[in-house]
Amino acid sequence: MSTPTPPTAPRSAAAPPPAARALTGWSAAGLVLLAPTVVVAWLAVLATERGGRCLTYGEQCSAVPGEALWACLWAAAVLGVLALAWPRARWTSARCGAVVLQWGAQLTLGALILSGA
């Protein structure tokens, strides 16, 4: 008497491919590091003499418009959530693009804040 073997599930139903898991990790890491990036960058700016004068007297403040900072912040957050919510088994290249844009917006935000020093 032979025992029947259970059918194996297709790869798409069993687990997402390794690339999809890596993209999920990078996207989640970007979202987790978004707030610390902003806080550390602002602390670095405010620790300078120019940042202190801007905070205290409103003089010598950055020429970077606040709208650019907010746009980068929201773009990084929205792209990160989009990459996390995207179906893992489909359109991996689009998720990869969203994660790359998320990290680009986040690094640009940090650079813009630091350029105000």
The verdict on residue 103 lying in a domain is yes
pLDDT at 113: 92
Cα–Cα dist 60/43, whole Å: 17
The string of DSSP letters for 21-66 reads HHHHHHHHHHHHHHHHHHHHHHHHHHTSHHHHHHHHHS-S---S-H
Report yes or no on 8 lying in a domain: no
What local confidence, expressed as pLDDT, does residue 91 receive? Answer: 80
DSSP 7: P
* Half-sphere exposure of residue 98: CA atoms within 13 angstroms, side-chain side: 23
Residue 4 included in any domain: no
Instruction: Give the structural domain span for 82.
Output: 18-114
Q: How many CA atoms lie within 13 A of 95 on its CB side?
A: 22
Domain annotation covers residue 29: yes
Residue 10 has pLDDT above 80, yes or no: no
Model pTM greater than 0.95?
Answer: no
Q: Is residue 42 included in any domain, yes or no?
A: yes
- The helix (H) or strand (E) run that includes residue 85 is helix 66-85
- Whether 5 is in a domain gets the answer no
Asked if residues 56 and 109 have their Cβ atoms less than 8 Å apart, the reply is no
* Residue at 10 is within a domain: no
On whether residue 33 sits in a domain, the answer given is yes
Q: 60: which 2 tokens?
A: 């010598």
What is the domain count for the chain?
Answer: 1
pLDDT, tens digit, for every residue of 34-87? Answer: 999 999 999 999 898 988 888 888 888 888 888 999 999 999 999 999 999 888
